[in-house]
Amino acid sequence: MISAADLIRKLTDVYVKNPDSNIGKLLRIVSEPINDLKQGFEKIEQWRDIDQAKGTTLDLIGGNVGQKRGAASDDVYRIMIKSKIARNLSKGDVNTIIRVIALAVGASYSDIKITQKFHDPLDPEPAAISLMRLPLERLASSGIELNQFVQIISKTVAAGVSVQSIELQGTFEFGGLPESFDSAAGFGDINDDTIGGGLGAVYQAGTDTDLPI
């Protein structure tokens, strides 16, 4: 922020550097619009970042990469834009799909495991994949619905390849007997207000809001 005192100090010595002088009063008047202008330019610079842009500015960023917003919130729209950028460069291989998923939900590559179904000895399919491992908390914190997440993956894979199933990992597990206990993975304690472990989820087709992907 630029104060009137800062402006007064920049004056040459031929001027009276008194805050109560006429020029001091004038600089107090102009300092406020200068600060407003400075903040405006700073916001413009910040909102060039997808993670900070909002509203119509985010719409313009999405338009540059060919991604419509639809009814998506800013948080979900950021995910759509990031995944669209990655999809535009996609070769449809497993590594690219993992990269798109990681961008979409803020996960690390090691959190994600994809199985190509033609390797499945029990139910082989030549053109299908299964997302076998992704922490549910990653998807929940991103704000995107599971059905919308499946849309993003489906648009990332090569033409003709289907997404057969998605398994999301929770943190809940039973401890071993007799003394093993982990409050972050087992049952919560009502008396101590502990939450305990979280359950996982499996994708099933539903009627959630579609995204314009």
Residue 12 has a pLDDT of 82
Residue 107 has a pLDDT of 81
CA dist., res. 44 & res. 47, Å (int): 5
Tell me the pTM: 0.56
Angstrom CA distances, 60 to 63, 72, 73, stand at 5, 15, 15
Sort 113 into a burial class: Cβ within 10 Å, 0-12 / 13-18 / 19+: middle
Those residues whose C-beta lies under 8 Å from the C-beta of residue 195, and which sit 6 or more positions away, are: 188
Give 35-69 pLDDT, tens digit per residue: 888 888 988 888 888 888 999 999 999 999 999 98
Tens of each residue's pLDDT in the chain, 213 residues: 777 788 888 888 888 788 888 888 888 888 888 888 888 898 888 888 888 899 999 999 999 999 998 888 898 888 888 888 877 877 777 888 888 878 777 788 888 888 777 766 666 677 677 765 676 777 777 777 777 777 777 777 766 777 776 776 655 454 554 444 455 555 555 556 555 555 555 554 444 555 666
> Partners of 128 in the beta sheet?
162
Residue 207 has a pLDDT of 45
Per domain, the residue ranges of the chain are 4-46, 67-202
Tokens of 102: 């990681």
**Strand 162-168 relative to strand 128-133, pairing:** parallel
Residue 131 has a pLDDT of 67
15: Cα separation from own chain's centroid? 53
Kind and range of the H or E element at 169?
none
Residue 168 has a pLDDT of 67
